[in-house]
Copies of this chain bind each other. A is one copy, B any other.
Amino acid sequence: MSTDRLIYLPLGGAGEIGMNAYVYGYGTPGKERLIVVDLGVAFPDMDTTPGVDLIFADIAWLNERRNDIEGIFITHAHEDHIGAVAHLWDELGAPIYARAFTAHHARRKMEERGHPERAVNTVSKWPETVKLGPFTVGFVPISHSIPESSGLVIDTPDGRIVHTGDFKIDKTPVVGEPFDEELWKEIAASGVKALVCDSTNVFSEHAGRSEASIGKDIQELIASAPHMVVATTFASNVARLKTIATAADRAGRSICLMGRAMRRMVEASITTGVLDGFPTVVSPEDAANIPRENLLILATGSQGERRAASAQLSNGKFQGMKLKEGDMFLFSSKTIPGNEKGVIRIMNNFSEMGVDVVDDNAGKYHVSGHANRPDIEFMHKLINPQMIIPMHGEHRHLREHAKLANSNGFAAHVCVNGMMLNLSGNQPKVAEYVDTGRRYLDGSTQYGALDGIVRDRLRMALNGHIIVTVILDEEDEPLGDPWCEVMGLAEQGRSHAPLVDILEHDLSQYMGRAGTKTMMDDDALEQGLKKVARQSALSEIGKKPEVTVVISRLS
């Protein structure tokens, strides 16, 4: 009997929505040959990650096993699936595989980081496959909200795995390949060991709707608008861009793209052949000469991002364009939890200008790119696997998805980041737990989420910062009084005297009281000064700030 095993290990994306990074392995325990599926990012926020640029899965485990990695497969070009690949590539060094549109984006990212573009291999869709070690991997077109999204069919000595990637069941997706039920049935016919399946919309009870279903409403909305129309959606939702642009074209409007991502995405789609029939676009300069009622702008920033075109337009003039009373602004998008305030800020800015804001209107002008509960169930039955592993979800989504699978008689396992499952038997079994976590990109450096750097930032933001400086001479006697600088603290409090004066007075008194032993001991003196500064601030302004003590000894 073989001791080889088939393993599944999520390093990101299982217990959160974002930062996808999944590992499959086959071979002798501890020496499996590995493939990585997706290397995406999560986005920072002020609550937990101020000043951070991007968040990656901690790939320390993969790094240790880098010689075992056969390849990195990218299912589609959304940032939460592709965004980390160029940032982490030098640690892994393995070849990257993706379909043409996704590979185009991967190459650009590799180039930007100075990595070889040739590391990115373009793979045609199923039935073409890539054979690497014990794995044979094929990209099967699956409908989602970006061109050329693919589910992976991963054949191993222990059987076939279907890794859905992000998907919905859309037979009229406007751009790209429709969901091909017959093809998936064929793929499943020989038996599937495990379905590793998108969980995002498991709480959405109704059947999902097709991208094509919103075309008519969008067209009517745009046709009936009396003045200029600006619409925003994810730039990567090329089908939506086409739906909106086509509606504008039919209404006799010229189309202008605003925001770098918007222009890039349309260019990439045309270059790689996934988009045709897109109306001619005009530049912002030319748009200025077109009557407003004959113009539609497609703008980036549907999630309220401060630097994107939508936010800029809501703040006033942007690239020579300014919205006016009676113009219309359409959010053809859903606000991702956490982004509400930024989106609402834009809505209110436009309201002040007299611009009429239209949101997704409970689904009239937007559909999701993920399979809803009935569609997930449909996929379960279509693939009819031996076991189901929910992925791409917070814990509550994974748990609900597993319950759904169980209710239809499928074996299922809630598997979170760092939990390695052995899939070789009839049931998924926990093989081991791997240390995982998050890594932050901050400026040009990367560091771990638990390194304390962001914790210190949060503390300074919540508590303010006092810097205490003292100078001691060769005999450990203070040279002058200690003094303070403060940042992020009220200038005065209870005593109606400057806070700095109160602090310096109290610190000076402490120095006068402190014995020779303390004065000779940097640590003791630092602790003493910190304590006094915090107590003094607490009594004066009711806060305990962060305190940095700088002790200088002349020698």
Contacts and interface: CB of A to CB of B under 8 A. Distances in A.
Contacts of A131: none
A469 B326 CA distance: 57
Contacts of A45: 46-47, 341
Interface string A310-344: 00000000000000000000000000011011001
Given A341-B47, A341-B338, A490-B453, A469 B542 contact: no
Given A50-B461, A494-B444, A546 B479 contact: no
A180 interface: no
A10 B292 CA distance: 36
A357 B395 CA distance: 12
A454 B488 contact: yes
A384 interface: no
A444 B351 CA distance: 37
A467 B50 CA distance: 20
A473 B434 CA distance: 56
B462 A51 contact: yes
Contact of A487 (B445, B456, B542): B456
A460 interface: yes
A487 B471 contact: no
Contacts of A354: 399
A340 B337 CA distance: 6
A290 interface: no
A554 interface: yes
Interface string A443-483: 11101000101101110111111010101000000011001
Given A347-B396, A351-B395, A554 B461 contact: no
Interface residues of A, number: 63
A443 B464 CA distance: 11
Given A340-B338, A550-B469, A552-B471, A542 B460 contact: no
B445 A554 contact: no
Contacts of A451: 491
A177 interface: no
A254 B337 CA distance: 35
B453 A488 contact: yes
B541 A445 contact: yes
A348 interface: yes
A546 B487 contact: yes
A489 interface: yes
Contacts of A357: 396
Contact of A457 (B340, B479, B488): B488
Interface in A40-64: 45-47, 50-51
A164 to B, nearest CB: 21
A377 interface: no
B479 A554 contact: yes
Nearest to A462: B51
B541 A464 contact: no
A449 to B, nearest CB: 13
Given A471-B471, A541-B445, A337 B347 contact: no
Contacts of A471: 471, 552, 554
A128 interface: no
User: Which of A354, A454, A483, A548 gathers most chain B CB within 10 Å?
Assistant: A548
Interface of A: 15, 45-47, 50-51, 337-338, 340-341, 344, 347-348, 350-352, 354, 357, 394-396, 399, 442-445, 447, 451, 453-454, 456-458, 460-465, 467, 469, 471, 479-480, 483, 485, 487-494, 538, 541-543, 546, 548, 550, 552, 554
29 contacts: A45-B341, A50-B458, A50-B461, A51-B462, A51-B463, A340-B340, A344-B394, A347-B396, A348-B395, A350-B396, A352-B395, A354-B399, A443-B538, A443-B541, A445-B494, A445-B542, A447-B490, A451-B491, A453-B489, A456-B464, A457-B487, A460-B461, A460-B488, A467-B467, A467-B550, A469-B552, A471-B471, A485-B548, A487-B546
8 cross-chain pairs, A with B, having the tightest CB-CB distances, nearest first:
A443-B542, A444-B542, A461-B461, A443-B543, A457-B488, A50-B461, A337-B340, A351-B396
